[in-house]
Structure 1
Amino acid sequence: MGWGVRTVQDVPQGTFICEYVGEIISNSEADKRENDSFLFTLDNKVGEPYCIDARLYGNIGRFINHMCEPNLIAVRVFTVHQDQRFPRIAFFSSRPIKAGEQIGIDYGDNYWRVKSKFFSCLCGSPQCHHSAADAAASFRVDSSQKASEEAIQSTQLTKVTQ
């Protein structure tokens, strides 16, 4: 877990919390940067993919942690333009949130596909999908699936060569 953000008062469902702000950069530029801790992919469907890098220029949104059972959702918002490549990212409460409760979003499977090699989720949820135990189970499944695929391939090669 990173810094984390908590509410100071009760927050009703559907409340705007903040916008995720930062430097808009291409994914190719993001790949060149050493610190990717504050990147938010824009998932644009047209043109070169972009993301928001809040490492140097950001607001409180960059300190919102991942939760497997999030209480926020990220919404793509268009205000002064309709350029699908550059939505603004707004966080809204997805359920009522009690004062003092940590707020969080689901960083998504793509994030964990990369980051699970370095650390695991610490959200503490009974529904956690990215804990160390979950990553180990996934590794066992991947390893056994790979072994099965290799066995099938060697069987196919044997049949072809006979």
Structure 2
Amino acid sequence: MAAAGAELQKVWCVPCLVSLDTLQEFCRQEKLTCKSMGVTKRNLSNYEVEYLCDYKVEKDMEYYLVKWKGWPDSTNTWEPLENLKCPLLLQQFYNDKHNYSSQVKKGKAIIPKDNNKALKPAVAEYIVKKAKQRLALQRWQEELNRRKTHKGMILVENTVDLQGPPLDFFYINEYKPAPGISLVNEVTFGCSCTDCFLEKCCPAEAGVLFAYNKKQQIKIPPGTPIYECNSRCQCGPDCPNRIVQKGTQYSLCIFRTNNGRGWGVKTLVKIKRMSFVMEYVGECDPNLQVFNVFIDNLDTRLPRIALFSTRTIYAGEELTFDYQMKGSGDVSSDSLDHSPAKKRVRTVCKCGAVTCRGYLN
């Protein structure tokens, strides 16, 4: 039953309406530990600094208002500088204070100077919000990496504003079909190749070209479907025709954009041209090209959507694709009904590329 219980903990996840302070206090009353809330065996009875909230000087002594890790805000205390053995948190405190001043200056507002005896309430409020945001993003990052099934790591970054993790974002590894759509992941045949790269394989059976070269790069033109080896094939996981199904091999960063586009994705490592980057699984000059992929589900109306690099993409570069790119089997935009009754509201594109059409749709 212990194993089954552990498995259920991984599967069932529901949002909690109780505040973090209340949950931390409850854990301590019941002598329970919870890593995600900062309550550990180490600090269940002891105190560990989580972040610094405020600053003041009294009788020539410097004091910092301390938020204790795993303890509610009601237990915050003023501590003299000599008691703080946390140089990194002190540095972060002053970095946030400086960032607040920089942001206010950008808004061309008048910044009242601190009197060196205490912080302005607005500055202290910003520092606390930034610290809480940092912790929330760290928890989100840890959750994303627990849920992922691919090799690459996922980092989260927001240096733009105080926005925390998006409430309507749910990380998934597999496709989630819309109501009324049934994905039948069962194929009737598979290859028996000893070398899928050299022998007639699943692509040949489907009447298309083998999609990859020996360097695992895409070699077929856009619009051509990809048929990878499936669960009935006798080849192993190292088969050269199993690229998309292995998931992304790159470490990526979900980051907050600075021009109102919300959250974006950038690569943390160099990606060679024509390489598989990631799948688009959901309910712009672009550097990714869309390809339709078929593995266990061969219904041509319901392909998996894979994104391949169109050129070398360098570390720190945002990953983008053209929303109007057409994969094989897609309906041409020329054949769609553009009558006034069917006309949709156009969404402005903010990619900033020279070749941008100005709209996503």
TM-score where L is the length of structure 2: 0.22
Higher helix share: 1
The structure with higher relative contact order (CA 8 Å, sep 6+) is 1
TM-score where L is the length of structure 1: 0.46
